Amino acid sequence: MSIYTVSMPSGPADHSGPSLELTPRQVWPTTLFTRIYRDHAADAAGIIAHLYELKAREKQNIASGVAPAMKSRDGLFESRLDLFETTDHPGLKRLVAFIESSVKRAVWHVNGRRVDPAHLRVEFTDSWFHITNDGGFHDSHTHGGCSWCGIYYLQISDVPAAHPGHAPNGVNRFYGPLNTGGMVDDYGCQYLKSNVLDVPPEEGLLLLFPSYLLHSGLAYRGGKDRVILSFNSLTKYRPPGMPSAAPPPR
């Protein structure tokens, strides 16, 4: 929670003063994290080739079998959901280690940096990859059974400038979590109307977001396939000598 003081402009009825300031509180913020993988240039080509090999073994575009009605019939391939757990590819294993350390640090940060990140253990409940082109898309959804989710951009095409009134090409779009039911159309609610965030993709970028956040993958068409990794995770607190998870003392 952030607490801060705003001075009101003075006027004929000046109600400002040391004890009469308007003091807002910011509560329940939504935090997203981004981080660049420094070894992307060295590892990406090998990882991408490995993913295409895995794709070639599958007979269905949605190999995961999950919610095919929310995904385009053509232009999108989605792998099985055990990629991180089953891989023996050296480059991908290095990338997974980077992702795991990033999730630990994100969880450490949002919980007030109260514990040693070394005492946190990340479990990837699901992990998969998408290969997208020719208008492939994934409709809006949230992820269940996890706390933090992520996207890693392995390969992208240049994203053309957005045309006014049209959605950007192939970005991941996030939707504000506030329930705005009953909101009136006045200036007092203006700040609630910007409830969509489009995240520009960048090769080597890791994006972490909380599982409750509604999001989608907009339709993509480009000169080369868009290849991304995705995952869901849980994080357990396990201090030395404690056999089961328990919350840290406050």
128-159 pLDDT per residue, tens: 999 999 999 999 999 999 999 999 999 997 66
Strand pairing class (25-26; 33-36): unpaired
- Section 10-37 average pLDDT: 78
> 136: which strand partners?
220
Cα 63–chain centre separation: 22
- Angle made by CA atoms 58, 49, 143, in degrees to the nearest 5: 60
- Six-digit token string for 90: 């050296």
Residue type, 206: L
User: 49: part of which helix (H) or strand (E)?
Assistant: helix 40-56
Q: In this predicted model, which residue has the larger pLDDT, 73 or 242? A: 73
Q: Which of 37, 130, 33 is nearest to 81 (CA)?
A: 130
- What is the distance between the alpha carbons of residues 14 and 45, in angstroms, rounded to a whole number? 64
User: What domains lie within the chain, and their CATH numbers?
Assistant: 29-237 (2.60.120.620)
Quick check: helix, strand or coil at residue 102? helix
Residue 232, pLDDT > 60, answer yes
What b/e string do you get for 77-95 counting C-beta neighbours within 10 Å, with b at 16 or more? bbbbbebbeebebebbeeb
154-206 pLDDT per residue, tens: 999 766 555 666 788 889 999 988 876 677 888 988 888 788 999 989 999 99
Residue for token digits 């049209």? 166
- Six-digit token string for 6: 């705003």
Would you give the DSSP letter of residue 114? -
- Section 76-103 average pLDDT: 97
